[in-house]
Chain A
Amino acid sequence: MTPQTLAAAFAVGLVVAIAVFLLVTSYNAVMALRQRIDKAWSNIDVVLKQRYDQLPALVSAVRGLMAFEQNVLTDVARARANYSPTEPIPDQGVHAEEMSRAVRSLFAVVEAYPQVRSDANVLALQKEIERLESMIADRRELYNDQVYRYNARITTLPTLLIAPLFGWRERPFFAAQAEETARPATDL
């Protein structure tokens, strides 16, 4: 084998090695992204479940003190009943938002009842649910960011070339409802 042949073989080998490296790294990156998305979703699910478990205690604590606001409590109970961890993620997103809205309405009404607001048990529950709401918001943002990165990766080179081979498809976002993103009505 002549030196020129060896040099040509070296050049081809190096280019092939770089191409294989890029493909293997891209494959591993997509696998890692899928794991991160699943983990991010599990982390949301944990907090949704905690909120689901905490709500009955809050409703029980305020029920006796807010006899005239049964419709607010009914909304919370209805929203809670819609929660199902086996639903598709977009549906869970919608129901989670419904529950958040019902809880926010409940807290707004609680503000109008000084005797409820000053109850230590209600205060503690309210604080805990607010903490969970904040965690859900943060983790939803994290999940959506992770899904965005995954979707961007499988639709750009070099991963785009191997995505059809492995059947990688875009993942859904944990989206807010349309009415939440609509421009608020203003009457100036």
Chain B
Amino acid sequence: MPIDWVAQGAFIALIGLGAGLWLLARGMAGYRDATRIGDTATSRIGTLAAGEVQVSGVIEPAELTLVSPLRSTTCVYYRASIGDEEDRPDVGDAVAVFGGADFREERAVGFRVRDASGDIRVFPRGARWDAPLVLDDSTGLMGDEPPGLRLRTGPAVAGTGLSREAAIAALLASPTAPSDFRALSILAGSAAGPLGGGDRRRHYREAVLAPGDAVTIMGRAMPFGDLTDPAEADFAIGSDVAADDPEVMGDIAEARQAGLLEATPEEAWGNAAIPGFGIGQPTRAPELVAGANALPIASATEAAATERRFAIAPETLVLASAPGVPLLVAHGMPTAAVDRQQTRFLVGLLGAVLAIGSAVALALMLTGVAS
């Protein structure tokens, strides 16, 4: 056997070995999740007891929503990546690992989940997500963009106070990019023309969980007052360093001692501390500079709805991660989530077969070289 064929074969066998072991590890994680979801009875939200629970219902936005970067979908969670076509992993499903991406972003905001008996607020910090891919496509050979691509042209965060008419208008309107908008377009290669990015083809992936989606959530139901840091717990972006981290706490204490921090949110944020200010109608009159147009104040009903969104009573049960009970948010009803994880386990077992086959092939090639 020529030595260069052996080297190539050994290289492919090593890749098979690595891929097989990776699939197996991923399958084992899926089996654990399937066991966890399948072994927990689903509680009704209206009669939820504190402790580890599983609930299933429909996502409702809380105070804020996100706008996904690749499809401009209004959502509460997204994970998006833009990478080279050749970096695309062969095993594509809802939680495939995005490898070799030039742009990668994952974000979540707090939301509510509702079933027939009531609703509960979810604080997503530290959550693991099992969200479906809504975009998994590449640029064409001629550089044409995939049809589902609709790059975000505005801020990543939006309020939830849209009226029905405004929501319909936003849904029907095509986003228009501001003249200075470049970042995502450049990453996507579209700024340089159809074939502008050279001969690189781009692969786009985006997974989202949007209002109206059915989800199954496992986590700890606890009184809102027991959350150590509600503001931090409400976002899942980038670093997981929370405000109760000893180093962060030390920095905060030092800043407070030096008089750099205000004592109350009202002092620190001014009008922004008024519920509804800036993202709807404020619940009380803000302090405006002379000559500024007065803002309409929310009616009693609107104010109550806004206060309900922003103010959670300390004894109200919320869902969050806790030590030993990580929050798991999976798309679909429990049976669908379990089925997905079990499929992943079966694929993992096939990965084990692939790894063993690759190891045997590698061994045979090495024996051939030695003899």
Q: Does A2 contact B (CB under 8 A)?
A: yes
Let me know if B38 and A149 touch, CB within 8 A.
yes
Residue of A nearest to B349 (CB): A18
Interface residue tally for chain B (C-beta within 8 Å): 31
Cβ of B49 and Cβ of A2 under 8 Å apart? Answer: no
Per a CB cutoff under 8 Å, which of A4, A11, A46, A138 touches B356? Answer: A11
Tell me whether A149 and B39 are in contact (CB under 8 A): yes
Chain A residues, CB < 8 A from B36? 29, 32
Complex partner residue of B32 from A15, A25, A36, CB under 8 angstroms: A25
Q: Shortest CB–CB separation between residue B40 and chain A, in angstroms?
A: 6
Q: Which residues of B contact A135 (CB under 8 A)?
A: 47
Which B103-129 residues sit within 8 Å CB-CB of chain A? 117
Contacting residues, chain B, for A149 (C-beta < 8 A):
38-41
How far, in angstroms, from A14 to B354 measured CA to CA in the complex? 11
A-B pair count, CB < 8 Å, reads: 76
CB-nearest residue of chain A relative to B348? A18
Give the secondary structure class of A's interface: helix
Q: Which of A29, A39, A134 sits near B51, CB closer than 8 Å?
A: A39
Contact of A7 among B35, B40, B349, B363 (CB under 8 A): B363
Q: Across the interface, which residues of B come within 8 angstroms of A40, CB to CB?
A: 41
**Are A36's CB and B359's CB within 8 A?**
no
Contacts of A129-151 to chain B: CB distance below 8 A: 134-135, 138-139, 142, 145-146, 149-150
Q: How far is the CA of A14 from the CA of B352 in the complex (A)?
A: 7
Indicate which residue in A3, A18, A21, A139 contacts B49 across the interface (CB closer than 8 Å).
A139
Q: Is the CB of A29 within 8 A of B356?
A: no
Q: Bound complex: CA of A153 vs CA of B46, how far in Å?
A: 28
Interface string of A6-38 (1 = CB under 8 A from B): 110011001100100110011001001100100
| A to B CB contacts below 8 Å, 12 in the list | A2-B367, A3-B362, A3-B363, A4-B367, A7-B360, A11-B356, A15-B352, A32-B36, A134-B47, A139-B49, A146-B40, A153-B39
The 4 closest A-B pairs by CB, nearest first: A145-B41, A7-B363, A3-B363, A138-B47
Chain B residues near A (Cβ < 8 Å): 24, 28, 31-32, 35-36, 38-44, 46-47, 49, 51-52, 117, 349, 352, 355-356, 359-360, 362-364, 366-367, 370
